[in-house]
Amino acid sequence: IAGITQAPTSQILAAGRRMTLRCTQDMRHNAMYWYRQDLGLGLRLIHYSNTAGTTGKGEVPDGYSVSRANTDDFPLTLASAVPSQTSVYFCASSVTPASGSGINEQFFGPGTRLTVL
Amino acid sequence: DQQVKQNSPSLSVQEGRISILNCDYTNSMFDYFLWYKKYPAEGPTFLISISSIKDKNEDGRFTVFLNKSAKHLSLHIVPSQPGDSAVYFCAQITGGGNKLTFGTGTQLKVEL
């Protein structure tokens, strides 16, 4: 593994079904993020985790949950999928900067294309 | 309401000419900006960044300009190459822990 991997690459899902999108990074980054990309809306943050054991809500968290049991993995779960969750989902990671000390870029995975029918 | 705006959804430029991609923001509390480039079926990749202590940052063919009074930044690519054809997103740090707010993206097409 090099960088960030996401699985599956794509998925078609019936509405009401449960789905977990997987994300794994091998860079030992503290922070991880989930975004969705929709046409005309750019990338919007769903949930994030600054370090293992902690998570936070982003801009569009409703209908999604995350967990961060360890540094490397950050799965995103749709408990009961709805058609409006049809999107491309990107996982990202970064080194968490110390407070007030500038910024660190986020590295993105290749994405998961999810279609909810 | 969109905090980070890219008002041009698309831009077409001839190879060798300059590409200028624009981005406006509303929240001046956070003063670090990044540009990402995205090819189809791939994740975004980091291109260049700028903080408010500078008004310009240059990296090879890519230069980002920041105008804080106008709350505007721009990415200049010169000379443009066909391989630059991609969607470009500007993003602003909008919270602790590296949280980013992205613009809607501009599709750049560099024509031969």
Is it true that the peptide bond before A97 is cis, omega within 30 degrees of 0? no
- Mean pLDDT of successive 10-residue stretches along chain A, which has 117 residues: 90 97 95 93 93 93 97 97 98 73 80 97
Task: Report the range of poorest mean pLDDT among A4-13, A66-75, B47-56, B72-81.
Answer: B47-56
Residues of B in contact with A108 (CB under 8 A): 36, 43-45
Measured distance CA(B35)–CA(B102) in Å, rounded: 9
Query: According to the model, what pLDDT value does residue A103 have?
Result: 66
Backbone angles phi, psi at B97, to 5 degrees: 75, 30
Interface test with B, best of A30, A33, A43, A93 (most B CBs within 10 A): A43
Q: DSSP letter string over B53-88?
A: T-SEEEETTEEEEEETTTTEEEEEESS--GGG-EEE
Backbone angles phi, psi at A89, to 5 degrees: -110, 130
**Positive or negative: CA dihedral A74, A80, A81, A85:** negative
Query: According to the model, what pLDDT value does residue A104 have?
Result: 73
Residue of chain A whose Cα is closest to the Cα of B4: A42
| Residue among A60, A77, A59 nearest A69 (CA) | A77
Q: Across the interface, do A43 and B102 touch by the CB < 8 Å criterion?
A: yes
CA atoms within 13 A on the CB side of B99: 16
* The pLDDT of residue B37 is above 80: yes
